[in-house]
Structure 1
Amino acid sequence: MWRCPLGLLLLLSLAGHVALGAKQGRVRRELAPGLHLRGIRDAGGRYCQEQDLCCRGRADDCALPYLGAICYCDLFCNRTVSDCCPDFWDFCLGVPPPFPPIQGCMHGGRIYPVLGTYWDNCNRCWQAGNHSAFWGMTLDEGIRYRLGTIRPSSLVMNMHEIYTVLNPGEVLPTAFEASEKWPNLIHEPLDQGNCAGSWAFSTAAVASDRVSIHSLGHMTPVLSPQNLLSCDTHQQQGCRGGRLDGAWWFLRRRGVVSDHCYPFSGRERDEAGPAPPCMMHSRAMGRGKRQATARCPNSHVNNNDIYQVTPVYRLGSNDKEIMKELMENGPVQALMEVHEDFFLYKGGIYSHTPVSLGRPERYRRHGTHSVKITGWGEETLPDGRTLKYWTAANSWGPAWGERGHFRIVRGVNECDIESFVLGVWGRVGMEDMGHH
């Protein structure tokens, strides 16, 4: 296993702050963000004490690197927004710090903050960062409000898998991206806000791409997650979670309109408020097609066409089969387990880092999510091994991860991402193709 040079410990800071030079003068220092503002603190770290620094007046060179930023040990640090080192109050002033210390964990004789992501060996490094969308949220709230796919029942998990047969000698490319094969037909990641509705968002995202591909670009709708959240109410809980099989049943039997026609309304995490009522119903027109019985909830849009799909099918969990399906028919939907470190993903090839194994249960919570897999690739590591990955679109907006997308280790069922993968065909008739 490849080791970092000199056993270097790679620290991926959660603070996300740019390291400010220690001697950049008063103005820059007053603009420095407060290190303790968001509760990211190093417990028990020896900073002022270790260096026996200053503790008096104002001295910009009484500075130490801390969590990707700079912390200070002079009295000037103790202002309304503090950039003092964690042991400043205790060591310099002899008073307890103004925040409850969070205990760190020992590693190699040093104490590290519990929220960091650390690797001794750099063979699977991915970047963590702090996302403004999650500021002020606990892990519990993140799992409660940002996921929202209920793990399928054993009946659905035992759903018959459709096995894709690779022809003898068939070789799949080492890299593939749906947006390159089908330009302008693969839609950008959505943003579910604080609505635990990934069941509706990932379903709408996959269906949008597949209807566009299967109609050869004659129809390119961004389908409405809100239509599913508000109207697919049979054993579904809207922004409090739902099931993928129910979502696909609704898309096949009832259909949904575009996102323009029925825009997303539920970003709030107000559990007391009633769920918004369904404002879009459809009726049969014969031959299985349906039409809307109401105008668009968005009064500026007239096009209330109903889009439908054929019955959903489950793929085998072999990565080659998923790859072949993706390359031939378009993006697929995947269930995945989200752990605490996934919220902090900023880039690279993700794999779950068990940094919080020794932590209390509340730091190790995880929940079920669903995403859209759009492609794959591989990277060569410094030791010559190959790391294979999927590319996927999340529904946490474009500011999260790699412009709303992420890469995750492929071929080892990382976070269960290969265990339950679904495909579907857009329901496209000759009349939809412009042949009247």
Structure 2
Amino acid sequence: FTEFMKTYNKTYENHEEQERRFKIFVENMAQAKKLQEEDMGTAEFGVTEFSDLTDEEFENFYLNPMLLRNFTPPPLQPVAETPSFTFEKHCDWRNRGAVTVVKNQGKCGSCWAFGVTSNVESQWFMRTGRLETLAEQELLDCDVRDKACKGGYPWTAFREIIRLGGMVRSHMYPYVAARRQCRYPRDRIAAWIHSFISIPGNEFFMAARVARHGPILAMINAKSMKVYKRGISRPRFHSCSPYHLNHVVPLIGYGTSWSSSPGQGSGIPYWIIKNSWGADWGEKGYFRLHRGSSACGIARYPMTALVF
């Protein structure tokens, strides 16, 4: 715990609070140990910057409080095309210039804004060849349907982007991790979308879509990510229920891990997922999740923006 405090520059207001955080830290280490023992992939769990937070604090500050409520996504325009049975075995849109750098939402439940913005950035690149770094703060301030740091839904955010006419660059509307008065400069729009669609919750189809049309958006149960460090996570159902969605993330690629050592991840298919907790978390801000088992509910509500 002392090393954790030094590494992450943690200070507490008094000795009693430090003792309370130490107890929470111990509980999180026990959770990490259990996840490590049960994981069927190659993931490593342990100390992260979130290791002194309770589950409730973690969900309220870094996940999406609105997704924790009962919700029914509205009907979306379905994908009309039939998936091809032949597509790339490995795809990583970072290598093709279609993904902006990892960002940091801070102590704010705004993953919905970061996920949607990342999807729009990539889809704009797919259509125009230009990668723009867009402003999440525009959505926090000007999206009248969602709740800024208190959470939001990707489908309402897409509709708000269409209503606003597009998005501006991030340097023109810097992120402050709080809702402020809307000051959207409509004459400085850098990218826009025409509509958005749902994608069938089939991971074969999802991978084919990513390979041919670029990154897509998904909602997942990210509770175990509080203590995730690296590797391919393949959690058991009871430790990552697909019915407890709480985080919005872009899927920017996929692959398969091969190893010559038995039991060390040989032939494990995975998704490459961009997160919004900064580049110091996970695998330089990314994480990998098993592909093919709808792990953590990743195949329940995939969708994407469309740029014509």
1:174 corresponds in structure 2 to: 89
Q: TM-score, normalised by structure 2?
A: 0.82
CA-CA distance at 1:306 after TM superposition: 4.4
CA-CA distance at 1:243 after TM superposition: 1.3
Q: TM-score, normalised by structure 1?
A: 0.59
CA distance in 1, matches of 2:40, 2:306: 39
CA contact (8 A) 1:190 1:205 kept: no
CA-CA distance at 1:319 after TM superposition: 1.3
**Does the residue aligned with 1:312 lie in a helix, a strand or coil?**
strand
401-410 or 377-386, which deviates more: 377-386
**Does the residue aligned with 1:154 lie in a helix, a strand or coil?**
coil
2:117 corresponds in structure 1 to: 204
- Paired AA for residue 188 in structure 1: V
CA distance in 2, matches of 1:379, 1:100: 36
- Over 3 Å counting, the alpha-carbon distance change for 1:379 and 1:256 in structure 2 is same
Residues 383-416 of structure 1 show CA distances to partners (whole Å, capped at 9, x for unaligned) of 5963211001011110110000000011111111
Q: Does structure 1 residue 221 correspond to structure 2 residue 132?
A: yes
CA distance in 1, matches of 2:45, 2:202: 29
Query: Hey, which of these two has a bigger chunk of helix by percent?
Result: 2
2:105 corresponds in structure 1 to: 192
Q: Does structure 1 residue 145 correspond to structure 2 residue 56?
A: no
1:260 corresponds in structure 2 to: 171
Residues 310-366 of structure 1 show CA distances to partners (whole Å, capped at 9, x for unaligned) of 110011111121112111221111111122x21111100113357979xxxxxxx96
CA contact (8 A) 1:334 1:417 kept: yes
**Does the residue aligned with 1:392 lie in a helix, a strand or coil?**
strand
Gaps of 5+ in 1: 1-14, 19-31, 40-79, 81-96, 106-111, 268-274, 283-291, 293-303, 358-364, 428-436
Matches within 5 A, 1:7-406: 114-118=30-34, 119-120=36-37, 123-132=40-49, 134=50, 136-148=52-64, 150-151=66-67, 153-156=71-74, 158-167=75-84, 170-180=85-95, 182-183=96-97, 185-217=98-130, 220-234=131-145, 236-254=146-164, 255-266=166-177, 275-280=179-184, 282=186, 292=187, 304-339=188-223, 341-352=224-235, 368-380=246-258, 382=262, 386-406=267-287
CA distance in 2, matches of 1:120, 1:131: 18
CA contact (8 A) 2:39 2:234 kept: no
CA contact (8 A) 1:128 1:346 kept: yes
Gaps of 5+ in 2: none
- Paired AA for residue 151 in structure 2: G
- Paired AA for residue 174 in structure 1: K
CA distance in 1, matches of 2:33, 2:280: 20
**Does the residue aligned with 1:391 lie in a helix, a strand or coil?**
strand
- Paired AA for residue 86 in structure 2: V
CA distance in 1, matches of 2:163, 2:22: 54
CA distance in 2, matches of 1:100, 1:307: 46
Q: Relative contact order (C-alpha < 8 Å, sep 6+): which is higher? A: 2
CA contact (8 A) 1:227 1:278 kept: yes
**Does the residue aligned with 1:245 lie in a helix, a strand or coil?**
helix
CA distance in 2, matches of 1:120, 1:135: 18
CA-CA distance at 1:137 after TM superposition: 2.8
CA distance in 2, matches of 1:238, 1:332: 22
Residues 24-53 of structure 1 show CA distances to partners (whole Å, capped at 9, x for unaligned) of xxxxxxxx979xx999xxxxxxxxxxxxxx
1:68 corresponds in structure 2 to: none
Q: Give the structure with higher Rg (CA).
A: 1
CA contact (8 A) 2:39 2:235 kept: no
CA-CA distance at 1:177 after TM superposition: 0.6
* Identity, % of aligned positions: 21
CA-CA distance at 1:98 after TM superposition: 11
CA distance in 1, matches of 2:38, 2:249: 29
CA distance in 2, matches of 1:406, 1:213: 23
Q: CA RMSD in A?
A: 3.5
Residues 156-214 of structure 1 show CA distances to partners (whole Å, capped at 9, x for unaligned) of 2x4343154234xx42222111122x23x321121100110111111011101111221
- Paired AA for residue 177 in structure 1: D
